């Protein structure tokens, strides 16, 4: 069994750091806020820089328009339908158009420049600079306010936050709708502002708005340096940021040492005082002491690694909740895109049902929902009392950090001419890859990722016209929740039916039966988002409800998940019927597919480990003494990845066997971790570990 440890980051001569990446409940963020963020080692800022360059190139190739969703700021507390809008800023026309839907009355529009500081949030507060834009007269149909922002009075203003209020009310008093640009749009604005300040004549010189939070200085601007700073800060916030709450951090449920997820084995290693177990000892959060209000269900957490989520609102804490596994945060960039048509909003796909983020549903807003859901001191969930919502710069940093985790793109399983093409040396694993494709698994998991092909738009399409298809992360009903109903977990603990995407109550037909006339208590359309399966084999048990943990279809948890697709629940689900030919999987197909999932996971383990070691090596060759704590964290994370690779492969007889090279890599990691060895010896050991990982990948791939 893996031994889990808290990795120390000790203060050094030129790097301020903190002692624990996994915080205790009595270690508030205030204790570390004044310390500089150590260099990121978990996340790779260079990949975010490349993504920004790609985004910028695409943005400048067309109409340079920034579209910002506007939603009710209380949507982080309760999901509800109601007024919403869009603000579109055209950089070339220097115009701002605000559109409202499902709203009536008169509203004032404002630009707000958030001021960061202790206890402050991204919401408008006293001290923020607010500038009135105009008034919009809203009807039930779409209403519009168009503004020209080409006067000198706008040159010093930024598009940090756009706010709508009731007439005569200032933003800090009460906000009706609110929206912010994302981190790439804000970085682009900083570049434009710097170009204008430096007297440049290209790339938006003289633009009226800067699109950037005011804490980023104008003048000469380095996007790569800014992104590195954001990722460094985001990594610190992710693992240390309690946001004035109950002591939990993002890393409480997404520890880097356990693939950014938790499971029964990991939970069993934690001390009883860990913030994960607050519902067992905090009277405000323990349902046995607070009148039955649910914050967590400790037994389901310990038995199956399930976390309580109020995705359908906080209106009924005793009865309306779902129990879900913790999805890892690897490869976020590769699975955020939602289909152009259908099931929108949200703007991006997040979580098990694709709607896991509040507001307009973006990665930026995900932190707002996480703090509200998991960090409160009491279940009143009052911002400023039970927690402090992130401020604008913290949202920037957390967004950049999460974009920097794991894979940035999917592998290629079919096209051998593609540079990302992979084929396996092990014959059965390669057969499993073919089975994975032939059995329609790629319909929902194209190239083993999270995306499927969708038509971009049906508007104006005539019979015989070619259809345009694009990859996006879609939702499907695969009968997973029906399987749980037919195979209960045996605990008898409250576990309401999880309706997946959306908040509307719906009925669900049992396998082979007629539709139930009334709801089973679930809210949603019973569909769930496809997640990547590249990282699946070492993050089992699978599915949003961990069904294969309590109703195993095979002792091998990877094979058990594959075998689910031979059940009647899947066969009778809409996902199992959406193609004319039903899924037909032989026992050998299932065995080979599970072997393929193990092989592709091991390849990714090796690549993750190599990335951690490369980052550690860069810091080691820069100044080992100064960066030693951070270097050792990276080396330690690489060791966990190598251990995972060995774990998913060992005992299955892969040929050629990559295990010896993985074991040699671990041996070199042990040398690198030994403080009694010289810095030169430890640096050389890191280099050798990378070489062995390259050899292990050669053993796995053709």
Task: Give the whole-angstrom CA distance, residue 185 versus residue 182.
Answer: 5
DSSP letters for 306-365: EEEE-TT-SS-TTT--EEEE----TT-GGG-BPPSSSS---SB-BSTTSB-SSTTT-HHH
If you average pLDDT over every residue of the chain, what do you get? 85
Give the list of residues 6+ apart from residue 489 with CB closer than 8 angstroms, or none: 300, 303, 304, 495, 550, 551
Same fold, 65-219 and 589-700: no
What is the residue whose two structure tokens read 């309306």?
320
Please state, for a pLDDT cut of 90, what percent of the chain lies above it: 62
What is 65-219's CATH topology?
Immunoglobulin-like (2.60.40)
CATH number of 589-700: 1.20.120.660
Q: What is the pTM of this model?
A: 0.90
Select the highest-mean-pLDDT range: 202-211, 212-221, 592-601.
592-601
* Strand, helix or coil for residue 426: coil
**Domain segments of the chain as ranges:** 29-44+228-403, 65-219, 589-700
139: phi then psi, degrees, rounded to nearest 5: -115, 175
274-283, 472-481, 655-664: lowest mean pLDDT where?
472-481
What is the rounded radius of gyration, in angstroms, for the C-alpha atoms of the chain?
Answer: 25
Query: What is the average per-residue pLDDT within 213-241?
Result: 79
In terms of Cα–Cα distance, which of 610, 436, 676, 511 is closest to 44? 610
Task: Give the whole-angstrom CA distance, residue 422 versus residue 233.
Answer: 35
90: phi then psi, degrees, rounded to nearest 5: -100, 110
Per-residue pLDDT of 569-602, as tens digits, reads: 998 888 887 655 557 889 999 999 999 999 999 9
Q: Is the pLDDT of residue 14 over 60?
A: no
Query: What is the average per-residue pLDDT within 64-81?
Result: 78
Query: What is the average per-residue pLDDT within 239-267?
Result: 96
In terms of Cα–Cα distance, which of 143, 147, 119 is closest to 131? 147
Query: What is the average per-residue pLDDT within 155-169?
Result: 87
The per-residue pLDDT for 96 is 92
In terms of Cα–Cα distance, which of 28, 26, 31 is closest to 278? 26
Please state, for a pLDDT cut of 70, what percent of the chain lies above it: 84
For residue 313, give both structure tokens: 């609102």
Q: Where are the beta strands (DSSP E) in 143-207?
A: 143-148, 161-166, 177-179
Query: What is the average per-residue pLDDT within 317-325?
Result: 93
Q: Is the pLDDT of residue 521 over 90?
A: no
The per-residue pLDDT for 523 is 81
The per-residue pLDDT for 206 is 38
In terms of Cα–Cα distance, which of 101, 78, 84, 104 is closest to 179? 84
165-169, 245-249, 512-516: lowest mean pLDDT where?
512-516
Q: Is the pLDDT of residue 17 over 50?
A: no
The per-residue pLDDT for 26 is 33
Sign of CA dihedral 517, 522, 523, 524: negative
Cβ atoms of residues 604 and 225 within 8 Å: no
Task: Give the whole-angstrom CA distance, residue 430 versus residue 350.
Answer: 31
What is the residue whose two structure tokens read 């990302």?
420
Residue 541, preceding bond cis, omega within 30 degrees? yes
Query: What is the average per-residue pLDDT within 137-158?
Result: 79
Q: Where are the beta strands (DSSP E) in 2-142?
A: 65-70, 84-90, 95-101, 105-113, 129-138
Query: What is the average per-residue pLDDT within 486-492?
Result: 91
């Amino acid at each position: 069994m893996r031994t889990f440890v808290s990795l120390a980051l000790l203060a050094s001569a030129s790097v301020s750091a903190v002692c624990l990446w996994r915080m205790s409940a009595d270690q508030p963020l205030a204790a570390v806020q004044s310390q500089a963020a150590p260099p990121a080692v978990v996340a790779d800022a260079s990949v975010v820089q490349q993504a920004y360059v790609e985004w910028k190139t695409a943005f400048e190739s067309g109409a340079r328009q920034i579209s910002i969703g506007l939603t009710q700021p209380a949507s982080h507390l309760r999901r509800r339908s109601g007024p919403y809008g869009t603000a579109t800023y055209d950089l070339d026309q220097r115009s701002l158009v605000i559109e409202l839907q499902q709203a009536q009355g008169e509203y004032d529009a404002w630009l707000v420049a958030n001021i960061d500081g202790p206890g402050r949030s991204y919401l408008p507060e006293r001290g923020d600079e607010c500038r009135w834009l105009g008034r919009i007269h809203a009807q039930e149909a779409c209403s519009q306010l168009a503004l020209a922002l080409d006067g000198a009075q706008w040159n010093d203003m930024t598009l940090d936050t756009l706010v709508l209020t009731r007439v005569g009310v200032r933003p800090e008093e009460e906000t009706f709708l609110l929206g912010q640009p994302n981190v790439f749009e804000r970085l682009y604005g900083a570049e434009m502002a710097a170009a204008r300040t430096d007297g440049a004549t290209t790339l938006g010189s003289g633009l009226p708005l800067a699109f950037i939070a005011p804490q980023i200085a104008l003048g000469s601007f380095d996007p790569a340096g800014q992104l590195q700073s954001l990722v460094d800060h985001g990594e610190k916030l992710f693992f240390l940021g309690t946001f004035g709450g109950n002591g939990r951090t993002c890393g409480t449920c997404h520890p880097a040492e356990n693939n950014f997820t938790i499971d029964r084995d990991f939970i069993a290693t934690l001390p009883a005082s860990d913030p994960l177990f607050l519902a067992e000892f905090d009277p405000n959060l323990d349902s046995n002491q607070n009148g039955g209000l649910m914050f967590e269900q400790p037994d389901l957490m310990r038995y199956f690694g399930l976390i309580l989520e109020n995705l359908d609102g906080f209106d009924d804490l005793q009865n309306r909740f779902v129990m879900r596994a913790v999805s890892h945060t690897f490869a976020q960039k590769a699975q955020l895109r939602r289909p152009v048509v259908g099931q929108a909003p949200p703007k991006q796909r997040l979580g098990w049902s694709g709607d896991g983020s509040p507001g307009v549903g973006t990665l930026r807003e995900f932190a707002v929902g996480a703090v509200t859901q998991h960090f409160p001191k009491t279940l009143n969930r009052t911002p400023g009392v039970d927690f402090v919502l992130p401020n604008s710069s913290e949202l920037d940093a957390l967004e950049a950090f999460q974009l920097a985790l794991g894979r940035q793109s999917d592998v290629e399983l079919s096209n051998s001419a593609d540079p990302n093409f992979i084929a396996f040396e092990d014959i059965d694993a390669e057969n499993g890859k073919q089975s994975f494709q032939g059995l329609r698994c790629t319909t929902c998991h194209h190239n083993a990722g999270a995306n499927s092909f969708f038509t971009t738009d049906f508007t104006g399409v005539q019979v015989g016209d070619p259809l345009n298809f694009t990859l996006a992360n879609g939702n499907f009903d695969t009968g997973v929740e029906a399987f749980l109903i037919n195979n209960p977990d045996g605990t008898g603990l409250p576990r309401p039916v999880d309706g997946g995407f959306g908040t509307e109550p719906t009925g669900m037909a049992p396998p082979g039966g007629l539709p139930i006339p009334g709801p089973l208590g679930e809210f949603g359309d019973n569909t769930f988002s496809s997640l990547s399966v590249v990282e699946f084999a070492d993050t089992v048990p699978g599915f949003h409800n961990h069904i294969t943990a309590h109703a195993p279809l095979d002792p091998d948890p990877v094979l058990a998940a594959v075998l689910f697709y031979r059940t009647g629940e899947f066969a009778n689900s809409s996902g199992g019927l959406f193609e004319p030919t039903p899924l037909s999987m032989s026992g050998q197909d299932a065995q080979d597919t599970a072997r393929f999932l193990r092989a592709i996971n091991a390849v990714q383990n090796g690549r993750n480990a190599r990335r951690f070691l490369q980052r550690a090596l860069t810091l080691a060759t820069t100044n080992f003494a100064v960066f030693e704590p951070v270097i050792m964290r990276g080396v330690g994370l690489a060791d966990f990845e190598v251990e995972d690779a060995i774990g998913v492969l060992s005992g299955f007889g892969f040929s050629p066997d990559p295990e010896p090279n993985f074991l040699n890599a671990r041996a070199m990691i042990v040398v690198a971790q030994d403080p009694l060895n010289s810095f030169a010896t430890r640096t050389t050991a890191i280099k050798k570990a990378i070489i062995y990982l390259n050899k292990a990948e050669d053993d796995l791939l053709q």
